[in-house]
A = this chain, B = another copy of it.
Amino acid sequence: MRYELYYWPSIQGRGEFVRLALEDAGADYVDVARDPKRARFGLDDLLEDRSSDHRPFAPPFLKAGKFVIAQTANILQYLGPHLALALKSETRRLWTHQLQLTVADWVAEVHDVHHPIASALYYEDQKAEAKRRAADFTANRLPKYLGYFEDILKNNPRGRHYLLGARVCYVDLSIFQMIEGLRYAFPRAMARLEPRHPRLVALNDRIAARRRLATYLASPRRIPFNQQGIFRHYPELDK
């Protein structure tokens, strides 16, 4: 099965959570919008096809054969067992997905720090509001999320190497992405908070060292963090 990932070609964004799973598993996939063979890649076509009964609301979405699936956490829920990055039992599937949905909420909050008023406006047009939101985010929300996942790691009955059970799952890869992104966007806040979350830092190192993932991260396929993505570094938002 060759998967097709549809996402914006110039940012990590939400698509990166899917890319990390595909890369770590060594899956056969095309990042369609970045494939030079695909001049017109069809992302807009699919989003604008108002006659489709399975039209996604927004990217990323994945094609698996004829099946089109959207919503980052939902894509990962689907891919997990296929990529050996999740267990199939219903209770385990739902609990893994629950953690991923909490990551999704966290991602949305990170985005809204620099866009608290409207995604359609420039950052510069909502900078004053962003400063207020950033102060709350770094003081309250960021420690709450980090503390939550640190506790999940601490209380894993199957060991403390991964969030769930004894093996890596797709949520571990997403937590790696969160830590990396937060370090880029909020280096001062993270430098302050990381010592209190040693298990998350260790998980980040463990994931970064995975063979296929390390190859990916060092390759041109890994788009660098930049000021168009979800994680953006504005020093004034990281006091």
Chain A residues with a Cβ under 8 A of chain B = 50-57, 67, 69-71, 73-74, 77-78, 90-91, 94-95, 97-98, 101-102, 105, 108, 112, 116-118, 120-121, 126, 129, 132-133, 136, 140, 145, 148, 151-152, 155-157
Contacts and interface: CB of A to CB of B under 8 A. Distances in A.
Nearest to A50: B151
Given A55-B152, A94-B74, A94-B78, A118 B101 contact: no
12 contacts: A50-B151, A51-B155, A57-B145, A67-B91, A69-B95, A71-B101, A71-B102, A74-B97, A77-B94, A78-B90, A116-B117, A126-B132
Determine the main DSSP class of A at the interface with B.
helix
- So how many copies of this chain end up in the complex? 2
Top 9 A-B residue pairs of the complex, sorted by shortest distance between their CB atoms: A118-B136, A53-B155, A71-B101, A57-B102, A117-B132, A129-B129, A116-B116, A71-B98, A50-B151
Interface centre among A54, A74, A94, A145 (most CB of B within 10 A): A74
A117 B97 contact: no
A156 B53 contact: yes
